[in-house]
Each structure stands twice: as C-alpha cells, then as structure tokens.
Structure 1
C-alpha cells in the first residue's frame, strides 16, 4: 500500500490546520490589505493625489525650459506696420516642436519616477500620472507664454521704435502638443510595469501532488 504523496515541508492537505485561517495572515505595512504589500483603496487614492500634484508642479520646469530653448520669431516695424524680419524662417514651428519634445521627455521621466516609488501601480496612481501630465502641460504652456515677450505686438513695436528688431510672443499653435506629456507618461509607465512590475508568485508545488493516489486494483 502506497502512502499519499505530500510535498516536503508541507502539511497534509487534509490537515484541519492547513491552510491557516484568514486572521492568521499578517497584513502588509503602510495600509496594505494583504501579504503582497498592495495598499488599500484609501492609501492608493492618497498616493494618486500626491502623484497628480507632483507631476502638475513639474509643469513649471516645462514652461521655463520652453521659454529658454524655444526659438524666437524676430519682428520689425517701419512705424506703420509690423513685419516678419525673416519671412522664410520656421521659428514658429520650432517653438511647437520644442514644446512637444520637452513634454515627451518629461512624460517619460515622470513615469519612471512614479514607477520607482510605486511599483505596485494602481488605478488611482495611473490616473494621477495622466491627469498630472495634462495639467503640467497646460501649466507649462501658460507659464511660458506669460514670461515670454509681450503679447501686444503693436504696443511693443511703438515702444522699441521703427527699424528695431523685437521678438513675437511665444505661442503654441499646435494645441495637441499638450497631450504629448500624458501619452508619453502612460506608454512609459505601461512598459516599465510590463518589464519590471511585480509578478504573481509561482506555486511552490504541483497541485497534482495533493491529489490522493488512485486506488489499486484488487487482484486475487
């Protein structure tokens, strides 16, 4: 007669003490509701709000970098009208491209930082990252245009005088560029989670070992 196969160092599946009761399972730290360290809903919402605020404030860096790196559009006045000094220049397109590239870079960077501190992920954190990227883009857009050259071109031309070169206001003509940050952040966070995110634990033994052996045929 063969004894049932039981994995080493494991109690028998028919033992009433196995598995341990739910109350015996320790809770994770920092509001975790399970042994995997996953935070509860309230903690996850708080973390999502912190991510939202932090990523939004990073829009200040976007605005300052855009103001610093974006090419200027030179204008000149003859005392009656204002003209482009360089009619073949592509500085207006360059301003949009600079904003888009900066937003893409900040999107990837913010996703990497958020993943570093919150590897467990969660809906609230992902929503906070996306919403923060959008708000950060809007904040950077507004800050760059606010701190850039004056928006009243006619008044600016009168102030500098005829024949003097001055710069046009910093503008974002491709409004869809504000989506570059949240889209880049989502794609980067998804890639990082797929590559380095926590995995479900592998079973320690084959479930088939827990099944009782088939009965032996009785032979005379």
Structure 2
C-alpha cells in the first residue's frame, strides 16, 4: 500500500528566502584599512633636499650681510680725532661715538635676524633641524661679513698716515670698529627667538588622539544593530 498523497493545494507555503546583501555583511565587518598616502598624511621632505635648502639659506644670509655692513657704515656715528705733530687724540674725550657704533650694529643686526626668520618661516613653515641650524650659522656669517665690510669701506685705520695727510689740528674721522664683539651674535639670537615664537604660534599642530568614547569618522555605527542600545 502506498501513503495517500497530500493534495498540492494543501501544502504549506514555502518560506521566503532572502539572500544576504552586501550591506548586511558589511555592517558587522570593519572597513578595509589602507596605508596613508600623500593626500592623507603629510610627507616630510627627504634629508638631501633639507640639506640643500640649508646650504642655500646659509649662502643667502651670508651675502645679505653685505647690506648690513653698508647700513652700519651709513648710520654709525663717526669718532672725531685730532692730531698734532706727534700724537693723535680724541677730539671729545667724553664722547660716546664708539659705543654708539656698537649700538647701531646691534639694532641693525637684530632687525636682520627678525626679518630673515620671518621670511624663512613663510617659505618653509614646517621648518626642520637643518634649516634652523642654517638660520643661526648664516646669521653669524652675515654679521661677520657686515662687520668686516664696514671696517674696510670706512675710514682707514692707519691713523698716522691719515693725520699726516690732513695736517696738525684738523679733525678727521677715526676707523669704524666694534668694541664689544658679542654684538655679532645679535643676528643669530634674534633669528632663533623669532623662528621659535612663530613656530609656536603658527606652526603645524600634531593631531591629538581621540578621547575614549569619541566616534571615529568613517567607522560603522554598531549601535544601530545592538538591540540593547
């Protein structure tokens, strides 16, 4: 005997079968990670490029020192001297022209340091150790070049020959000199302080890590699938 067949009209309906979608599978999986590219994270320049830029910075600042020497020669007060038939004397024994020459050099060099640091920061905001060192070395070389150029272009330091040329009792200008050699550091010190201040105020900031519980941009929102949320 055979079992009675169930009529086709009385069979239970089949349950609908829904294929898994990509969105459902992706809701529980983490998004694929990819290494940061040049558009995602800043890329530091290679060391060779930084060294070339540092060498160029030293050369430019050293050449700008010639302008420092010309300004010092133009703005520094002159030291009046007078001679008799045997010796050379200061015309004004209580004059402060020698100290004034040091002060003028100090102010001009400090101004050059501020301007050079601002220009370098404007061109290379990210900075770098080689460029900062080049800023200090170039400023020192520029100060030395300006000092030497001012003395060469200024009145001669051969007082005897100069006095014999102008004659006894005639006032003439003494040589342009620096009494305090420490003023040569005005340019590099002013440049370093200015660059440090600009970097602290307007330099690039490192991203701070997110606090616990802070949603990360681009991460899936798991609270939608959590029935307890």
Shared fold by TM > 0.5? yes
Change (3 A) 1:196 1:157: same
- The DSSP-based 3-state class of the residue aligned with 2:77 is coil
Work out whether 1:104 is the aligned partner of 2:104: no
Distance 1:154 1:87 in 2: 19
Task: Within 5 Å, give how 1:184-199 maps onto structure 2.
Answer: 184-199=190-205
Residue 133 of structure 1 aligns with which residue? 139
The worse-fitting range, judged by mean Cα deviation, of 50-59 and 133-142 is: 50-59
| Deviation (angstroms), 1:46 | 1.1
Aligned partner (choices 66, 74, 80) of residue 80 of structure 2: 74
Work out whether 1:15 is the aligned partner of 2:30: yes
Residue-by-residue CA offset, 1:101-120 (whole Å, 9 max, x unaligned): 11111100100011010101
Residue 4 of structure 1 aligns with which residue? none
- The DSSP-based 3-state class of the residue aligned with 1:104 is helix
Task: Within 5 Å, give how 1:56-205 maps onto structure 2.
Answer: 56-201=62-207
| Deviation (angstroms), 1:208 | 4.8
Gaps of 5+ in 1: 1-10, 28-33
Distance 2:144 2:28 in 1: 59
Residue 31 of structure 1 aligns with which residue? none
Structure showing greater radius of gyration is: 2
Change (3 A) 1:104 1:14: farther
| Deviation (angstroms), 1:203 | 6.1
| Deviation (angstroms), 1:21 | 3.2
> Alpha carbon RMSD of aligned pairs, Å?
2.6
Distance 2:96 2:114 in 1: 27
TM, length-normalised to structure 2: 0.78
Aligned partner (choices 48, 64, 70) of residue 54 of structure 2: 48
Post-superposition, which runs of at least 4 consecutive aligned residues in structure 1 deviate over 4 A? 11-14, 202-208, 210-213
- The DSSP-based 3-state class of the residue aligned with 1:146 is helix
Gaps of 5+ in 2: 1-25
The count of aligned residue pairs is 197
Residue 8 of structure 1 aligns with which residue? none
Distance 2:214 2:164 in 1: 87
Change (3 A) 1:13 1:37: farther
